[in-house]
């Protein structure tokens, strides 16, 4: 069930975002990014690349020095209550009130949301084996993470932002979580963006990947397209320039090799055919992460 009429308008839009910390280098540097309804976007980047900063900026938790962020067409810094109710967030650092029990915490937040799926909450608490009446302080790291996810899913948000949501989960917990995430998208067409370092999880659910590097989203594209269209070519600099022009390929990264040769990671247009005799390698997700972040 979709709560809002289908629209092609972006769920979130970031334009020209620049942000740096006091006495620090720029973390985000003229970043442009767009999230469309129903997209599941895996945000990838090295440690310290600014993934958390980007997600916090997206939610209006950080004010950029330049640029604009809009969520559902509103300025992210001044969202009204109706729009806030459409956003769910799982932060990297647990923000649960630790003296509460899970039942108390969920009752607390339920009072603020106009819609709340109690059946889903009950089901997830039972399936994920979270004691309702045990103080949150005494739950394990994984259980706290699951509770944080339940709280974010309970009001059925149209935009779900998750910062390293599976970091504390075991493989079974990650599988359950990913199943829920896919359900959210398939059932309601929600937009989901999450950062992670576990690439195998991305292969299961992320239909889109965004690579964050140098303070910008270096590339965002559907995962299957990337795996199908991105290739690594090796040859002399002249050969590579000719080949890229001939194929109409978009070079993503160039790495100089010895003796005037180079390795070019490039995205081919759909239906492009690589001529015989060209040194070309397929790439997997690990390669993409290593090369593009």
Between CA 209 and CA 101 the distance in angstroms is 36
33 makes contact with another protein (CB under 8 A)? no
Instruction: For residue 45, give the 3-state DSSP assignment.
Output: coil
- How far is residue 42's CA from residue 288's CA, in Å, rounded to a whole number? 13
Site mask for another protein (CB under 8 A), range 115-144, x = bound = --------------------x---------
Closer CB to another protein, 100 or 207, in the complex? 100
Q: Identify the residue among 72, 89, 128, 177 touching another protein (CB under 8 A).
A: 89
Considering only residues 96-115, where is the footprint of another protein by CB under 8 A? 97, 99-101, 104, 107-114
How near is the Cβ of 53 to another protein at its closest, in Å?
Answer: 11
CB of 46: closest distance to another protein in angstroms?
A: 24
Q: What is the dihedral of CA 205, 208, 209, 212, to 10 degrees?
A: -130
Lateral strand order in the sheet of 26-35 = 26-35, 12-20, 66-71, 74-75
Q: How far is the CB of 1 from another protein (least distance, A)?
A: 20
* Closest to 198 measured CA to CA, from 226, 228, 168: 168
Contacts of residue 241, defined as CB under 8 A and 6 or more positions apart, other chains included, come to: none
Nearer to another protein, 111 or 273 (CB): 111
**Which residues in the 35-74 window bind another protein by CB under 8 A?**
59-63
Place of tokens 């806030």: 84
Binding residues for another protein, per CB under 8 A?
59-63, 79, 81-82, 84-85, 87, 89, 91, 95, 97, 99-101, 104, 107-114, 135
């Amino acid at each position: 069930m979709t709560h809002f009429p289908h629209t092609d308008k972006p769920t979130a839009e970031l334009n020209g975002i620049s942000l740096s910390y006091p006495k620090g280098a720029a973390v985000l540097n003229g970043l442009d990014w767009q999230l469309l309804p129903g997209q599941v976007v895996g945000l990838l980047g090295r440690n310290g690349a600014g993934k958390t900063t980007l997600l916090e900026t997206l939610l209006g938790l950080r004010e950029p020095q330049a640029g604009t962020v809009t969520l559902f067409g509103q300025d992210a810094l001044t969202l009204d209550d109706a729009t806030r109710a459409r956003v769910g967030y799982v932060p990297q650092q647990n923000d649960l009130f630790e003296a509460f029990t899970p039942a108390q915490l969920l009752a607390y937040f339920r009072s603020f949301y106009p819609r709340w799926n109690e059946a889903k909450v009950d089901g997830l608490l039972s399936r994920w084996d979270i004691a309702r009446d045990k103080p949150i302080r005494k739950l394990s790291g994984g259980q706290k993470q699951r509770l944080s996810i339940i709280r974010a899913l309970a009001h059925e948000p149209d935009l779900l932002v998750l910062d390293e949501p599976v970091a504390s989960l075991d493989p079974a917990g990650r599988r359950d979580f990913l199943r829920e995430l896919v359900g959210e998208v398939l059932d309601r067409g929600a937009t989901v963006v999450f950062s992670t370092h576990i690439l195998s999880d991305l292969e299961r659910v992320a239909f889109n990947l965004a690579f964050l590097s140098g303070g910008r989203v270096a590339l965002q594209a559907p995962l299957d397209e990337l795996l199908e269209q991105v290739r690594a070519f090796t040859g002399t600099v002249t050969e590579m320039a000719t080949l890229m022009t001939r194929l109409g390929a978009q070079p993503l990264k160039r790495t100089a090799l010895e003796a005037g040769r180079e390795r070019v990671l490039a995205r081919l247009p759909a239906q492009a055919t690589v001529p015989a005799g060209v040194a070309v390698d397929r790439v997997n997700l690990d390669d993409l992460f290593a090369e593009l972040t």
